[in-house]
Amino acid sequence: MKFSLQINEGPYQHQAADSAIQFTKAALAKGHEIFRVFFYHDGVNNATRLAIPPQDDRNITAEWVALQKEHNLDLVVCIAAAQRRGLIDEDEMTRQGKDANNISEGFRISGLGQLIEAGIEADRLIVFGA
């Protein structure tokens, strides 16, 4: 089956972020396809490469990056939600005249149309959080 995921909550604050990773791993292990993972609301915070969780805790962003590399996942961060919350990539940094960027490798920034398309293309859209 072809799945799309929508993640609505940030890491560590809310279990939704963890559940989404665990779902992704389980689905891939069963041979399912993940069409796209779309990060929305505070879920965009899963994409920051500047988070420093304690060493004895999980690193959610790093887990996504590892999964992305292994399975070539399409990890999309909503641009409107991200800009509101100070999550930007290098291109946006330049365009907006900001002095830093924080989006991790493995993620890409795009619009809400990507979420709708994810719903159209997948057999199931699973919403985590909210």
Partner 1 sequence: MAKKFMYINRKAPYGTVYALESLEVVLIGAAFDQDVSLAFIGDGVYQLTKGQNTKAIGQKNFSPVYMALGDYDVNKIYVEKESLEERGLSLEDLQHLVWEDEDNDYEEKDSIRLVSRAELTDVLDEQEVILSF
Catalytic residues: 78
Q: Does 3 bind partner 1 (CB under 8 A)?
A: no
Residue selected from 21, 73, 81, 109 as contacting partner 1 according to rule CB under 8 A: 81
Q: Does 77 bind partner 1 (CB under 8 A)?
A: no
Residues from 5 through 34 that contact partner 1 (CB under 8 A): 6, 8
For partner 1, the closer of residues 54 and 113 by Cβ is 113
Q: Please, which residues bridge with residue 8 across strands? A: none
Tell me which residue of 72, 80, 74 sits closest to 122, measured CA to CA: 74
Q: Does 2 bind partner 1 (CB under 8 A)?
A: no
Q: Does 120 bind partner 1 (CB under 8 A)?
A: yes
Sheet holding 124-128, edge to edge: 107-110, 75-78, 33-39, 2-7, 124-128
Least distance between partner 1 and beta carbon 120 (Å) = 6
Residue selected from 26, 50, 66, 80 as contacting partner 1 according to rule CB under 8 A: 80
Residue 4: how many other CB atoms lie within 10 Å:
25
Contact footprint for partner 1 (CB under 8 A): 6, 8, 40-41, 80-81, 111-113, 115-117, 119-120, 125, 127, 130
